[in-house]
Amino acid sequence: MTAATAAGAPEVTRWWQLPAYGLLGLPLAMAALPVYVQVAPYYSALRGVGLAELGWVLFAARLCDMLQDPLLGHLVDRRRGAIARWLTLGAIVLALAFTGLWLPPADRIAATLWLGAMLVLAYSAHSMLNIAYLAWGANLGGGGPRNSAALLPAAAWREGAGLAGMVLASVVPATIIGGDLARMSDRMAVYSLAFALILLVALLALLTLAPAWPAAPRPHAHWRAALCRMAANRRFRQLLLPYFLNACSVALPATLALFFIRDQIGAASLAGAFLGCYFIAAACGLPLWSAAARRLGVLPCWRLGMALSIASFAGAGLLGAGDVLPYFAVCIAAGAALGADLALPPVLLAETLDAGDAPGAYYGVLTLLGKLAMALSGLALPLLSTLGYQPGTPGGAPMALVYAGLPCMLKLLAVAALRCVPRQLRQTTPTPHYRSTP
């Protein structure tokens, strides 16, 4: 591990350090979006929990969780010397809650309450890990103003590992959920054990091989002063609306994906293949987005990614039973666009920070907005129920509207909101290529 520089940020001097940093993105991704995609159909099939009940539980759990993120970010900034203990505690709680999530009680009502409790625990532990992890990556840019040249490679490793985690967490549980109902719980228990082992290995790699967390804590003001500093950062404020709208547009189809595949396309047995194709396309597109961002600028590339996503989901809204190959095409195009959504917004946020800003608090706000988007997406389930859709029946126009139409509208609003981003973040000045020394 390298020593921290005088400015408080580490210098990357070994080729393995950025991969070691990025590896934790794999288990964190396994416990994030794929869980939100799979938990509703899992509890519906295994315990018979109703669609409206699932939607409200998902909404309430995310709503409770998101309120703590700015506080967690502030605590990460103030307790830099104890970061290893924070990460270890978060990993232990996340592994236990993740396992409990897939092993609910037999009673339907008890299973519903259990789902809410396990989600809150898993979300809280995930937040603690993820905010510290993003703040760690933001410090790779150096002690002064952040720049894309230093941040993009770390983001690429982090999101690349995250996409690998999404592929793994999409294919395996989807295959289990679509298989033998009697063996579903046992197989998910084995999957949870594998998740815990992956999380342990990734955390050890981060703490022992990655670029060092700044050893000396920087003085940070009271949380109210930190909040005031964020509120005064105009560049940061103007990124929040497009980020939130875009996060909503991603969360809606993620929540409904398995229902759409089963009841709109009529291909439940191919759910793992569809989701795997989606995330593999994102992983393949990630280095292309990073390379394009170095040449064209981060914000223009994010805008291009949004345009590709709009075109993809507009096509998905026209699909019906038996449209397997067209839906594979939608998954490939939408997955490629996902790479831009994952890698570029954290880099844009880091570019808004000034020397002396506390990155943990900023990323806490960013994750809060992402969780609010996921919470609101849970309301799509009772909305579909109100529109007449029931799991196991053809989705029809209500499913096409909520799964494809609403995300397209939200993406268009996000593109419009990007016009308000300050001029310095809209510049397309190429950033130099980053190279680590051997």
Domain ranges for the chain, please list them.
17-426
The 10 Å Cβ neighbour count of residue 360 is: 27
The sign of the dihedral angle between the CA atoms of 284, 287, 293, 296 is negative
pLDDT digits (tens, 9 = 90+) for 358-389: 666 777 777 778 878 887 888 888 888 888 88
- The values of phi and psi at residue 10, to 5°, are -80, 155
Q: What is the CA radius of gyration of the chain?
A: 21
- Is 374:62 a contact under the CB 8 Å cutoff? yes
Band of residue 29 on the pLDDT scale cut at 50, 70, 90: confident
pLDDT digits (tens, 9 = 90+) for 74-96: 676 666 556 778 788 889 999 99
Cα gap 130→119, rounded to integer Å:
16
Select 17-426's CATH number: 3.40.50.450, 1.20.1250.20, 3.30.110.30, 1.10.3720.10. Answer: 1.20.1250.20
Higher pLDDT, residue 106 or 358: 106
pLDDT digits (tens, 9 = 90+) for 144-173: 444 455 566 777 778 778 878 877 887 788
